[in-house]
Amino acid sequence: MIRQEQQAIVRKKGKELLRIEPWGPNGLRVRATQLGSIRDEDWSALLPAPVEGAKLETDGKTAVITNGKIRCELMVTGKMKFFNQKGELLLEEFDRNRFRTEIQGEFNSALEINPRMFEPIPMTDNYRLTVRFESCDGERIFGMGQYQQPYLNLKNCCLELAHRNSQASVPFMLSDRGYGFLWNNPAIGHVTFGKNVTEWEACSTKQMDYWITAGDTPAQIEEAYAKVTGTVPMMPDYVMGFWQCKLRYQTQEELLEVARGYRDRGVPVDVIVCDYFHWPNQGDWKFDPDYWPDPKAMVDELKEMGMELMVSVWPTVDAYSENYPKMEEEGLLVRSEHGKAIGQLGDAALIDPTNPETRKFVWDKIKKNYYDLGIRIFWLDEAEPEYTGYEYVHYRYHSGSDMETGNIYPREYARMAYEGMEEQGQKNILNLLRCAWAGSQKYGALVWSGDIDSSFRSLRNQFAAGLNMGISGIPWWTTDIGGFHGGNIYDDDFKELLVRWFEFGTFCPVMRLHGYREPMKPPLGTTGGGKSNSGAENEIWSYGEQVYEICRKYIFLREKMRPYIKELMAAAHEKGTPVMRPMFYDFPEDAVCWDIEDQYMFGPDMVVAPILYEKQTSRKVYLPRGKWKGLFSGEIVEGGRWLTCEAPLDEIPVFVREGKLTLSRII
């Protein structure tokens, strides 16, 4: 039986309760359960969204619901089909059931496969959920977060819906067929965009929950998605330039000497970073006074040099931490299903940011020991969190089991700092995290791509990761320039990689140099902040004069781009527009742009074609129609064609729309 309940269509048939309702502009939210009622989960990525002009029709057996550019037809069998305003089929459920298909008059099947399958998990009220849709030949799919693979188009890919170090599951996809789809479920699972079927799976959940939208362009789809999940704050001016970082500055004086080195060379730095294990114990959330004796004086001196200090914060709590006994007693730590919580990550437990009491407790420590010193930006590391072995079945949160709600961990971790900083009156909040889920953007999350290796293969993976993160609704993204693991500062091959990565990083939302360089430096002591070793130097002058001059050139190029970058950040804040995006985003009518996977748009007016292979000194570049100016050559060329461009070590092909930017020619 199908009925209308206010602004929703509800179908009750056998065990299943199905609810379809308009949600935001051109969007529909679809939920189903085999429990007694539809739940409004606290973890949902969807915000309340106004709806105007939606139309609902039902005869008790079938139903049609229309909201702007999207229409859902609910058939007598319970199968759903989604269309755009032109009547074109966007997406339909995969139904292989003889009785159902005979009623529909489509075709018979003895397979008995339902599009929505709830498999009960014994002795719980949860289900293993599988939702299937028909696959479309030639469809292109983008988004879904960050995966360590070189594929921009995710069609025919199988993706784990789970977080790992360098992997962020943000389950929003954009299709070239003209729709966007959010899997609004934080359970551990998988999605397969197969040739024969599209299949979404949640390993443990109480209900199906997804949101779908239609649009005439990728921008329309992205903006509709941003309206129902939120946008980033306005990026603060003090982070739009160059960031200096390494694993790890071991003392206050070492960090200040590096900052002074940039100042004395006249090279601007926006942010310099105090990395992990500057604390006495994990979970103390404060400086070790043996190595950082006067952090307030350090912060003040850096501000005088025009630099902000970013401090690493980890969610780990050592048994020897001064905060462990209270946190353990009050249930503020992640629990294990069997055994003690200690040991989840080495000899430490993890905070549970899904618990509001945990968020308050940890923020109060951060405020007292960092924020009150004048520190206004934090590196919220280990945000997945990084469980040894990623044994998701073994952990439980305030919000539920890891298997059911685990993917919200990085979002709630970002929320912890964001709400604390907001309470202090801070505006334009930004913090660096290693992971995200849908909705993380509204809590000021700048996501970086994790502890990747130093190789051209890894660089190619980050290229795809950054573009798909932008499509996933996370416009603030960055990567460790040069990669994290490996990279000997005296190796010529690594110097080449570093330069090419630096050039790419100049045209990322945030330009940040980081890495665990070789040869390593030994620990300074055996206690507190002295126990951890350090990588080799990682300043731009650490690699010789040629590398220094190239890096310096690109840092000053980034400075010249500040007005343009500010415009891009305003668009991200106001509309959810990705800062770096695939070519098709700005040129959806150009069929060539949908298949390009090695160049991109940095905002609407710059085509960037990075060098992604070793020893490469030229490459092909496609320019859409119009007139384009070579950033380095100054040459005006006609678009709508492929060009072969030279790319000596100190240049990558970059073109700007003629008359759109006033950047001076870079010599």
Q: Which two structure tokens, joined as six digits, stand for 642?
A: 């492929």
Q: Which residues of 128-160 are buried (b: 16+ CB within 10 A; e: fewer)?
A: bbbbbbebbeeebbbbbbbbbebebbbbeeebe
Q: Please identify which of the residues 275, 318, 381, 382 carries the catalytic annotation.
A: 381
Which amino acid is located at 165 in the chain? N
| Alpha-carbon dihedral sign for residues 132, 133, 137, 140 | negative
Q: Please identify which of the residues 209, 384, 412, 480 carries the catalytic annotation.
A: 384
Tally of CB atoms within 10 A around 296: 12
Chain-centroid distance of CA 356 in Å reads 23
The answer to whether 384 is a known catalytic residue is: yes
Alpha-carbon separation of residue 225 from 87, 212, 401, 471 (angstroms): 21, 9, 28, 10
Contacts of residues 586-595 at CB distance under 8 Å and 24 or more positions apart, as own/partner, are 586/624, 587/624, 588/217, 588/218, 590/624, 590/625, 592/622, 592/624, 593/622, 593/624, 594/140, 594/176, 595/140, 595/153
C-alpha span between 137 and 181 (Å, rounded) = 18
Q: Please identify which of the residues 209, 382, 402, 451 carries the catalytic annotation.
A: 451
Q: Which two structure tokens, joined as six digits, stand for 324?
A: 């462990």
The residues that bridge with 193 in the sheet, in sequence order, are 198
Tally of CB atoms within 10 A around 337: 12
Pairing of strands 308-313, 377-380: parallel
Chain-centroid distance of CA 316 in Å reads 22
Q: Which two structure tokens, joined as six digits, stand for 76?
A: 């007598």
| Alpha-carbon dihedral sign for residues 563, 568, 569, 570 | positive
Alpha-carbon separation of residue 393 from 336, 387, 390, 404 (angstroms): 9, 11, 9, 9
- The residue behind tokens 């280990």 is 382
The answer to whether 545 is a known catalytic residue is: no
Closest to 66 in 3D by CA, of 38, 47, 50, 87? 87
C-alpha span between 245 and 225 (Å, rounded) = 33
CB-hemisphere CA count at 13 Å for 89?
A: 11
Tally of CB atoms within 10 A around 658: 15
Q: Which residues of 552-589 are buried (b: 16+ CB within 10 A; e: fewer)?
A: bbbbbbbeebeebbeebbebbbeebbbbbbbbbbbbbe
For 389, residues 6+ apart whose C-beta sits below 8 A from its C-beta are none
C-alpha span between 130 and 116 (Å, rounded) = 6
Pairing of strands 127-134, 158-161: unpaired
Residue 577 near residue 571, CB atoms below 8 Å: yes
The answer to whether 451 is a known catalytic residue is: yes
C-alpha span between 256 and 228 (Å, rounded) = 44
C-alpha span between 182 and 173 (Å, rounded) = 7
Tally of CB atoms within 10 A around 215: 25
Burial of residue 369 (CB within 10 Å: 0-12, 13-18, 19+) is middle
Catalytic residues: 381, 384, 451
